[in-house]
Amino acid sequence: MKKQFILLIILLLTFNILSSQIINREPLSARLTGYTIDVNLDHVTKTVRGTVNAFWVNNSGDVVPDIQMHMYMNAFKSSRTTFNRETGGSPGKKSSAAGWIEIHSLTDLNGIDLTPGMQYISPDDGNPWDSTVLEVVLPKPALPGDTVFVTADFETKLPSKIRRTGYNGDFFFVAQWFPKFGVYEPAGMRYATSGGWNCHQFHANSEFYSNHSVYEISITLPDEYVVGSGGMLVSETNIGEGKKTLVYRAEDIVDFAWTAWPGYAVFNTSWEHVDITLLIPHDRTKQVERQFTAVKHALEYLAENVGPYPWPYLTFVDPPARGAGAGGMEYTTLFTSTSSYRMPEWLHMPEMVTIHEFGHAYFMGILASNEFEEPWLDEGVNSFWEARIVDHYYGKNSGLMDHPLLKIADASMSRISYISSPGKQLVNNSEYSWDYPLGTYGMMSYHKAANWLFTLMGIIGEETMNEIFREYYRKWAFRHPSGKDFTDVVNEVVTRIHGEKFGPDMNWFFDQTLYGTGISDYKVAGFRNFIMPDSTSTRRNDNPLDTILSDTDPVYNSIVYIERKGEVMLPVEILVHFNNGEEIMEWWDGKSRHKALEFTGKKKIEWVKIDPEFKIRMDINYINNSMTVEPDRVPVRRIMNKFIAFMQFFISFIML
Amino acid sequence: MRIFQAMGSGASRSVRIWKGLLTVWLFLLMLVSLFALPLKTGLKSGLGNSMITEKLAEGINVEVFTDMGQTWSTVFSALVPGFFIVLLFGFLMNVFFTGGIFSTIRGSAGKFLISDFFRASARNFWSFLVISIMIGLIILGIAFIIIGIPLSMASQSITLSEAEVYLTGMIAVIVFCLLMPVILLVADYSRAWQASSERLACFKALGYGFSRTFKTLLKSYPLMIMLLLPQVLFGWLVLTILPDLRPSSGMGLFLLFVLTQLLFFMRLLLKAWRYASVTGLAEQNAGKTVQQQPEQAGLN
């Protein structure tokens, strides 16, 4: 009885601590889950062991008989886990290579042992060898409004191959490391038709989905380790025997990860209200300014065009080469970038990764979409913003690479990845991420979505696009939006700003791009200039260049033939240039398979361009978007000229 | 003093064989053109009458090549094997003509005749081929031992910092670069000996190359460094100038072509200067050797 009372006090204190405000004045989210974790890092056995006190609030109208928790470290337990089956990999031959998590004890608020009700389930694929989702049947179902408290003693062994999480020597990146609640979705939330847990297994081609939570994390580890985490450091205590205890608090974030390595150098800066910390190997101090500049660019751009960054701190990590597997990942207020000791200035890869990973603080951090089911909603949307930011600050045509021999914009790289993918028509975005056919996850999640978002922006305009995201932020920040919620915002904003210029809604666009498998390809099939048989007569055509014609010059009947080769029908602009310097911009709804534009006058067509400003970035072939009487061969000849010289020098160089 | 004499005579000898170098230039241009012209046609055909070439105004644009889709795949699939075939034939062609160059730059070669040049090229071909392959293998082996092994060990290490790995790599590359003149001396002495020898004996030539290199290392090594430095500077100059040249007219393109070919011809001259200088030094040494051991001296 006494033990139960003490436990009750501890749990209530936990709830009280987690409910209190330290970082922000008001809770940013509903805070349906919270965690107080006290762990020790054993740097010899590569384990993290301790206790977690956690709660989940049943804010649905359902009576919920169980809880479901992520036990994601078990993905690295054997070669038969769903993760390793999907990758074809294995944890390694040595037992020290595997990763796993074990719950040694699990009790509820009343000290009742919950372990008899524990079982691993595999809701996605039924794999009996996968133990990444734990179901715990409660002694008493959780009634609407109830809060379920659990206390678990757990031990997590980190894997030696770092795939976002793990260790290498004395480097640790600790993510997906504690028992964590899934998301209970009542009917009507996202796509749920009835209440239930949304708790997917750990997959190779997927990321995560969690509640915004409050974390109070206490980590004990050897003195020499430098630690970075997604929380704010509350206290640091030297506990003797060469160890220290660090206490962190984080509010309204969807995941808590941390890293420890003695080799980190710590740098600080600030941007407006945000204190920024960078952990980076000592060798890479030359990269610090690049990294800080990049993250400040991202903060500035997203705060202006999407919404405020609400936390007063941000930590990011540039892992050492030995921890490269942890690079390029996001945990809202903590993210990892990548660089190297001598990263050339012309290669903006570190900036790109930093901007991308920071962007996730918005797209799945604040706007906590389900990355398993709709990866485009975070990765695709975030890639779209990443490309905009990178190209805005680092060069419209050279955002990613700015070398005298080769310049590449980030948006171009995204389009290249999309159009060069052989599987771009295999699947649409309504599939779950792990069900994407082989080799299409990256293209579907990142590149296709980024390109149709650019295309959408090309159609509706940049300011409307920004307003869409501002509205999306206002409506869905610190909630769990679905793809449908996003498209509803688009429809609302576009009709508010443009009326019915693009139709009653934009679903025609999403049906083709987001939920369709078609491609977009418009082509100038040709154009002809006929001299009219009776050129001396006075004529009038039906285009804006109507002119009364003189009697001396020949009159041409000029026709442009346009084709829609792809399935996707999008409105396009067509620019026609005449030999007298006049230009006419035509608008076509792009629906029919072909279109002829006719012009009559004392002028011949010299060239035609469909989508002259390259707004339709989904178009898989820009080459056939234009046609001219006199193509400019100089660039090709110049390239070949230099290529010949290069080959001559190269052959001469490698020969003795 | 003998070094500068060798360099001076090397310069005059290399200029003397300008017709031979012109022949090398012409054949290499033809070889590369055989590969480049169909590529150019493929590109032009892929781009058709499009105005997308506007995007190439600033240089190579990867997006344009990707837009070519299947056409680019076809062009690229021909490009890769074509590149290696050109390299192979370029190698054989170089081996062939190097035989002629080494023969005609000898002090006793007399007036340059193109027929002599081709005859010597043909005569020395097989021997020069073996020498080139052997030296190539030696370079690869040294690169593996000096750069490959330390760098892979350093990069696998969890105790070394990234700066230390970088430093290891840099030291390895510098050591390799410092060793390269020695290897080039072996190659040049071997070929100089073979070109002046009555009989074809590639391994004996290599033996001579090694022994001559190490016997005269104190003289030969500075000579080679002094010959290589202008080549390195020249290469740097070319790499700096060429990317920024973007003519936009037909005449500009023609001038660019002339300039690149002139630069390449200068590169051939510099290389011939190296061959001639090393040959000259070998001849000076051989002169001494002849006095001591007339039966062993192959050079004259």
Rg (CA), chain A: 29
* Interchain proximity B162–A640, CB inside 8 Å: no
- Other beta carbons within 10 angstroms of residue B213's beta carbon come to 23
Chain A touched by B160 (CB under 8 Å): no
Q: Which of A99-113, B50-64, B69-83, B156-170 has the highest mean pLDDT?
A: A99-113
Average pLDDT of each block of 10 consecutive residues along chain A (656 residues)?
58 61 86 98 97 97 98 96 93 88 95 96 97 97 97 97 92 97 97 97 95 97 98 96 97 98 97 97 94 98 98 97 94 96 94 98 97 96 98 96 92 95 90 91 95 98 98 98 98 97 96 96 96 63 48 87 97 96 96 96 96 96 95 91 92 86
Cβ neighbours of B1 (radius 10 Å): 6
The residue to which tokens 């620019």 are assigned: A575
Per-residue pLDDT, A411: 97
Dist CA B280 CA B8 (whole Å): 9
Distance CA A392, CA A377 (A): 22
Residue A18: its pLDDT value, please?
A: 61
Predicted pLDDT at B157: 84
Q: Is the pLDDT of residue B287 over 80?
A: no
Asked if A341 reaches chain B (Cβ–Cβ under 8 Å), the answer is yes
| Contact present, A264 and A228 (Cβ < 8 Å) | yes
Chain A residue with the nearest C-alpha to that of B92: A655
Contact B243 A653 (CB under 8 A): no
Domain span including residue B172: 2-288
Split into its structural domains, chain B has a count of: 1
CATH number for the segment(s) A522-635: 2.60.40
Phi, psi of B249 (to 5 degrees): -130, 165
Q: Between residues 272 and 291 of chain B, which touch chain A (CB distance below 8 Å)? A: none
User: Is the pLDDT reported for residue B292 higher than 50?
Assistant: no
CB spacing of B49 vs A651 below 8 angstroms: no
Per CATH, domain A382-512 is 1.10.390: yes
pLDDT of residue A481: 98
Instruction: Indicate if the pLDDT at residue B300 is higher than 50.
Output: no
| pLDDT surpassing 60 at residue B288 | no
Cβ–Cβ below 8 Å for A623 and B67: yes
Instruction: Say if A342 is an interface residue toward chain B (CB within 8 Å).
Output: yes
What's residue A338's pLDDT? 95
Mean pLDDT of all residues in B32-54: 90
> How do the domains of chain A map onto residue ranges?
2-262, 382-512, 522-635
Task: Tally Cβ neighbours within 10 Å of residue A655.
Answer: 18
Per the domain annotation, does B300 fall within a domain? no
Which residue matches tokens 């490309």? A387
Subunit contact B67:A419, Cβ cutoff 8 A: yes
Q: To the nearest 10°, the Cα dihedral for A459, A462, A468, A470? A: 170
Query: What string of H, E and C letters represents the secondary structure of B32-94?
Result: HHHHHHHHHHHHHHHHCCCCHHHHHCCCECHHHHHHCCHHHHHHHHHHHHHHHHHHHHHHHHH
Provide the strand spans (E) within A224-298. Answer: 226-229, 232-240, 243-253, 258-261, 264-271, 274-281
The answer to whether residue B16 is domain-embedded is yes
DSSP symbols for B160-204: S-HHHHHHHHHHHHHHHHHHHHHHHHHHHHHHHHHHH-SS--HHH
Contact residues for A286 (Cβ-Cβ < 8 A; gap 6+) = none
Asked if A552 contacts A578 with a C-beta cutoff of 8 angstroms, the reply is no
CB contact under 8 A, B52 and A626: yes
Q: Is B73 inside any structural domain?
A: yes
Tell me the per-residue pLDDT of B151-184, one tens digit each, with 9 for 90 and over: 999 988 878 888 999 999 999 999 999 999 999 9
ipTM of the predicted structure?
A: 0.92
Within 8 A by CB and 6+ apart from A508, the residues are none
Residues near A179 by beta carbon (within 8 Å), at least 6 away in sequence: A52, A54, A69, A70, A71, A101, A103, A134, A152, A154
Average pLDDT of chain B? 89
A-chain CB neighbours of B161 within 8 Å are 263, 281-283
Contact present, A567 and A596 (Cβ < 8 Å): no
Q: What's residue B78's pLDDT?
A: 79
The verdict on a CB contact (< 8 Å) between A412 and B62 is yes
Interface mutation target, options A264, A282, A623, A633, chain B, most CBs of B under 10 Å: A623
Residue with tokens 């999403």: A510
B residues 100..159 contacting A (CB < 8 A) = 132, 135-136, 155, 158
CB distance A318 to A284 below 8 Å: yes
Residues across chain B: 300
Say whether B32 and A651 touch across the interface (CB within 8 A): yes
Rounded (10°) CA dihedral B25, B29, B30, B31: 100
Q: A607–B51: do the CB atoms touch at under 8 Å?
A: yes
pLDDT in tens, A191-219: 999 999 999 999 999 999 999 999 999 99
Q: Which of A254, A190, A264 is nearest to A485 (CA)?
A: A190
Q: What b/e sequence results for A584-620 when a residue is b if at least 16 CB atoms lie within 10 Å of its CB, and e otherwise?
A: bebebebeeeebebebbbbbbbbbbbbbbebbbbbbb
Residue B289 has pLDDT above 50, yes or no: no
Give the pairing of strands A226-229 and A100-108: unpaired
Least Cα distance to A202 among A159, A169, A253 occurs for A159
CB proximity under 8 Å: B 184-223 to A: 184, 187
pLDDT tens digits, B193-238:
999 888 888 999 999 999 999 999 999 999 999 999 999 999 999 9
| B215 part of a folded domain | yes
Q: Is residue B296 part of a domain?
A: no
| Alpha helices, H only, A169-326 | 288-305
The pTM of this model reads 0.90
Rounded to a whole number of angstroms, the distance from the CA of B176 to the nearest CA of chain A is 15
Count interface pairs A-B at CB distance under 8 A.
188
Confidence of residue B243 (pLDDT cuts 50, 70, 90): confident
A2-262 and A382-512 have identical folds = no
Identity of the residue in A635, A648, A653 whose CB atom sits nearest the CB atom of B28:
A648
| Model confidence at B75: pLDDT above 70 | yes
Structure tokens at A415: 């389009």
Contacts of A583 in chain B (CB under 8 A): none
Contact (CB<8Å) A634/B247: yes
For residue B295, being part of any structural domain is answered with no
Q: Which architecture, in CATH terms, is A2-262?
A: Sandwich (2.60)
Rg (CA), chain B: 23
What is the distance between the alpha carbons of residues A557 and A554, in angstroms, rounded to a whole number? 10
Residue B294 lies inside a defined structural domain of this protein: no
Chain-centroid distance of CA A573 in Å reads 31
- A positions 92-121 inside 8 Å of B (CB): none
Q: What is the residue type of A626? A: S
- pLDDT-based confidence at B1, cuts 50/70/90? low
- Residue A538 is predicted with a pLDDT of 47
**Would residue B299 count as lying in a domain?**
no
pLDDT at B135: 96
